[in-house]
């Protein structure tokens, strides 16, 4: 069923490409400029979105085998993600149950974690293994002192966690069937080629840039090129979106050749054409395909809010269908990843920071999203909806979305 949805979307894109048209939403919409600058609203977004709904914590290939782990901070919460002995992924609060000191730093491979403060040791699955000088400390039930687990789900080569150990939100319902669409990339078997973290502007300002092609031939005229497409059709699964340019063409893997999809039999359409465009996972992930050096790859950008309303940080993962064995492909992938750093850091995020500084003047009361920016409109509507929803309402919001996807 999900593959048929891919064909359905591509048929639509090809037909619009033939006609030189695009799908547009009903009206131009304004939102308050203060939505980007108000500290109280920012704190609400952190508390009611990033600490309540599932957030992507890693691509599966970042933790390729049992024992792999990474420590990170998300919205002020220390998180430890491990690949357990049975191969499953699990996220924990990275905090020793004795005094709260983090038990892990950075990333690597380990079967156990020892707190650097008093030496309490935990297994890779979070169980408390040993208390230093246990006889002196006193008798306690070790089972009551395991690392705190966060609800965790691994699907489509991505790992999600809900940063509330008591959350009752159905993680599958939250994904609204979108994970079935993402499965077609095949990320669970891909190779992590490289990663880096970039500072950015306000998290919504930064994410807006992933949700429209309108800016591409203007802001990126010297990188992507001024003749780059500026139109996109939007497809939604609850708050998650795919945007792709109406076109009859798709790039052929490993070359600069363009395939004319309108002249091909549908059964010959390659997976690259069926999945082209930008796929966003609410509230903070963008996935875009690239072909650096002839190897099929994708940049998975995971964006989190920073400590203040004007800050964010984005970890960019460059993943490849196959680990390069040829120096030309390896160099091409390096060049592609370096190029994307220029595009995002020097163009998108520098522009976003200037935009944020301008909005902080308080002299602009509204910002606008056109009929050709439906993705941005939908994103801000979902932000507002989830900030207002209480905990009980979250499941009621997403259950119908999942049922519709099925």
User: Tell me, what CATH number does 207's domain have?
Assistant: 3.90.380.10
pLDDT at 157 over 60: yes
173 occurs within a structural domain: no
285 shares a domain with 369: yes
116 shares a domain with 212: no
311 shares a domain with 356: yes
Peptide bond into 283 cis (omega under 30): yes
DSSP letter at 7 equals H
Residue 357, CA atoms < 13 Å, CB-side half-sphere: 7
136 shares a domain with 88: yes
Percent of the chain predicted with pLDDT > 70: 96
291 shares a domain with 226: yes
pLDDT per residue over 304-350, tens digit each? 999 999 999 999 999 999 999 989 889 999 999 999 999 999 999 99
Can you give the pTM of this predicted structure? Answer: 0.96
Report the chain's terminal Cα–Cα distance, integer Å: 9
pLDDT at 256 over 80: no
284 shares a domain with 254: yes
Domain boundary among 143, 168, 193: 168
pLDDT per residue over 29-83, tens digit each? 999 999 999 999 999 999 999 999 999 999 999 999 999 999 999 999 999 999 9
Percent of the chain predicted with pLDDT > 90: 90
Residue-averaged pLDDT of the chain: 95
212 shares a domain with 161: no
Domain boundary among 106, 141, 168: 168
Question: What are the DSSP calls for 347-388, one per residue?
Answer: IIIHHHHHHHHHHTTS---EEEE-TT-HHHHHHHHHHHHHHH
pLDDT per residue over 287-315, tens digit each? 999 887 677 899 999 999 999 999 999 99
156 shares a domain with 207: no
Mean per-residue pLDDT for 157-174? Answer: 97
275 occurs within a structural domain: yes
113 shares a domain with 47: no
| Tally of domains within the chain | 2
User: Tell me, what CATH number does 151's domain have?
Assistant: 2.102.10.10
């Amino acid at each position: 069923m999900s593959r048929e949805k891919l064909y359905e979307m591509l048929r639509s894109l090809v037909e619009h490409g033939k006609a030189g048209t695009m799908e547009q939403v009903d009206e131009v919409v304004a939102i308050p400029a203060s939505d980007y600058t108000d500290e109280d609203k920012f704190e609400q977004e952190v508390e009611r979105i990033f600490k309540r709904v599932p957030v992507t914590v890693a691509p599966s290939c970042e933790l390729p085998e049992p024992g792999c782990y990474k420590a990170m901070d998300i919205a002020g919460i220390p998180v430890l993600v491990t690949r357990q002995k049975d191969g499953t992924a699990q996220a924990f609060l990275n905090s020793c149950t004795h005094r709260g000191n983090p038990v892990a730093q950075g990333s690597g491979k380990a079967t156990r974690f020892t707190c650097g403060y008093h030496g309490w040791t935990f297994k890779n699955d979070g169980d408390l293994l040993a208390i230093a000088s246990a006889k002196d400390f006193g008798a306690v039930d070790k089972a009551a002192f395991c690392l705190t687990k966060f609800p965790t789900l691994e699907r489509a080569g991505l790992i999600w966690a809900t940063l509330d150990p008591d959350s009752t939100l159905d993680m599958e319902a939250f994904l609204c069937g979108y994970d079935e669409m993402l499965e077609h990339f095949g990320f669970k078997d891909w190779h992590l080629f490289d990663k880096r973290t970039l500072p950015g502007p306000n998290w919504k300002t930064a994410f807006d840039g992933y949700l429209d092609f309108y800016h591409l031939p203007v802001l990126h005229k010297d990188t992507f090129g001024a003749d780059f497409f500026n139109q996109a059709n939007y497809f939604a699964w609850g708050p998650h979106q795919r945007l792709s340019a109406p076109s009859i063409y798709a790039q052929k893997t490993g070359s600069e050749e363009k395939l004319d999809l309108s002249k091909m039999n549908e059964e010959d359409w390659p997976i690259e054409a069926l999945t082209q465009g930008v796929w966003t996972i609410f509230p903070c992930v963008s996935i875009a395909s690239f072909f650096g050096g002839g190897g099929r790859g994708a940049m998975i950008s995971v964006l989190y809010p920073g400590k203040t309303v004007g800050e964010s940080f984005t970890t960019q993962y460059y993943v490849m269908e196959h680990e390069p064995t040829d120096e030309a492909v390896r160099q091409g992938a390096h060049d592609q990843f370096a190029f994307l750093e220029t595009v995002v850091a020097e163009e998108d995020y520098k522009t976003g920071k200037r935009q944020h500084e301008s909005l902080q003047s308080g002299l602009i009361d509204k910002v606008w999203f056109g009929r050709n920016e439906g993705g941005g409109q939908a994103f801000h509507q979902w932000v507002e909806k989830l900030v207002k929803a209480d905990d009980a309402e979250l499941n009621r919001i997403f259950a119908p979305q999942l049922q519709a996807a099925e």
